Amino acid sequence: MEIPVLVLTLVLAAVFAGTAVPKLTGQAQMRERMDHLGVSPGLTRLLGVLELAAVAGLLLGLLWPPLGIAAAIGLALQMTGAVAYHARAKDPATTILTPVIFAVAALALVYLHVRLG
């Protein structure tokens, strides 16, 4: 395993663990953000579950790269959906840029796994 794969995996895992927990616990600030986007409480919980599954997949992908690749692709797809929701809510470009950056980071991890692994 190469250092860039390890670092990017740990960064993505930390970020998405940090966003999954408020979605699963119904934290007020997260609930307000998701309401603004038109995301139901049920979908919010599902997104939290998917993010935790992705975190597990990313970390286990350090041992078995195909799982890390699948998890990173899943995160990129989820972030693509987030971009669509933010655009539909007419959020500013700076807000929309955040999920774009994380989608690119997830796809960079896919590339690194394939290239280095």
pLDDT, one tens digit per residue, over 44-63 is 999 999 999 999 999 999 99
Report whether 113 contacts 68 (CB < 8 A).
yes
DSSP 76-104: HHHHHHHHHHHHHTT--HHHHHHHHHHHH
Q: Which residues of the chain have pLDDT under 70?
A: 1
Q: Residue 63: helix, strand or coil by DSSP? A: coil
pLDDT at 117: 72
Q: Look at residue 1 in the predicted model and tell me its pLDDT.
A: 63
- pTM, whole model, 2 decimals? 0.93
Q: Establish how many alpha carbons lie within 13 A of residue 86's alpha carbon, considering only the half-sphere containing its beta carbon.
A: 16
